[in-house]
Amino acid sequence: MAVIVAIVFTFVVLFLVLGYLIDFRFDFRRPDVSPLQGRRNYLRGCGPFEFGTGDRAVMFLHGIAGSPAQVKDVAKRLAADGFHVYGVVLPGHGTDPEDLFGITWQRWYEHVVAEHGRILERHGKVSVAGFSLGAALGMRLAMEHPVEKLICISVSSSRLFHDYLPSHWLLRAASFLSSSARTFPQRLPETEDGPEYLIYRSIPMDALNTLVDLVHDNEPRLGDVKVPTLVIHSKKDVASRPTGAQLLYDRLGTEEKRLVWFESAPHGLMHGSDEDKAILHHEIVDFLAN
């Protein structure tokens, strides 16, 4: 009897979690749109950027369903400190959520490799700073291509949302209930060149599933990351659990690594308090400069 109760309770919890993710919409609409056709213009403030004129290059990679707008503030601060900073738009981002249907992490990675090669040819050396999905892609790049230094902010791991629930299977199950998951973006103050939201208001399950595929594919190869690496994470991160960040950090193959914890910052560390922003900027500049 106790076993039956435990099984029922587990299924109820899983159903509630799935319902929270997909908002019980049971939406199976899948638009006939290729994310690679590039037919849309970028949303206001969501396109690629280039700041600074310094010799030392830093390539920034944004998070899932986001755009370079997520990392623009810290990038501008780095440019003021003498770095040449590039913001890359991952395919399917900065336009419309429909452009993420059918996307794969391999397509994101191919674009990152191409942009890295372009910047490398111009500067000779490139450091990579990634947020969330961007950090996971940055790790992949450091495994296979010449990266001077690597910065991982709120890095995505296999422990998404919960320390013990299997995110891989949870998201696969959610895909049977809806084609998209909801997000919780905060509307931004209207500015001339700023976006209305930092992330899409929904994310196709295709994108979430391929993100999980990427982090699972990365984990056995973390020992191949041999470059100096800075990992920055919040102990209160609900989107990418701190235990996952610690696991990734412990498995890195480089001896030149540093892990910085924020006590109560959100997943989007770049948009926390003014004090958090100052600490983040100091840690990144200190790491890149030394």
The dihedral region occupied by 161, where left means phi > 0, alpha psi between -120 and 50, and beta the remainder, is left
On whether residue 205 sits in a domain, the answer given is no
On whether residue 252 sits in a domain, the answer given is yes
On whether residue 160 sits in a domain, the answer given is yes
Rounded to 10°, the helix 167-175/2-22 angle is 70
CATH of the domain at 120: 3.40.50.1820
CA 72 to CA 199: how far, in whole Å? 14
Q: Domain residues for 93?
A: 48-164+210-289
On whether residue 11 sits in a domain, the answer given is no
- Both tokens assigned to 79: 């440019």
Q: Is 85 within 8 Å of 60 (Cβ atoms)?
A: yes
CA 81 to CA 261: how far, in whole Å? 23
How big is the chain, counted in residues?
290
On whether residue 174 sits in a domain, the answer given is no
Sequential pLDDT tens for the chain (290 residues): 676 666 556 555 555 555 555 444 445 555 655 555 555 789 999 999 999 998 999 999 999 999 999 999 999 999 999 999 999 999 999 999 989 999 999 999 999 999 999 999 999 999 999 999 999 999 999 999 999 999 999 998 766 655 555 566 566 666 666 777 877 788 888 777 788 888 999 888 889 889 999 999 999 999 999 999 999 998 888 778 888 889 999 999 999 999 999 988 887 788 888 899 999 999 999 999 98
Q: In degrees to the nearest 10, what's the CA dihedral of 232, 235, 238, 243?
A: 80
| The pLDDT of residue 11 | 54
| The pLDDT of residue 95 | 94
Question: Domain tally for the chain?
Answer: 1
H helices of 97-236, in order, are 105-123, 133-144, 167-175, 205-218
**pTM score, whole prediction:** 0.87
On whether residue 15 sits in a domain, the answer given is no
Q: Is 263 within 8 Å of 185 (Cβ atoms)?
A: no
Burial of 278 (0-12, 13-18, 19+ CB in 10 A): exposed
| The pLDDT of residue 24 | 43
DSSP 8-class letter at 160: B
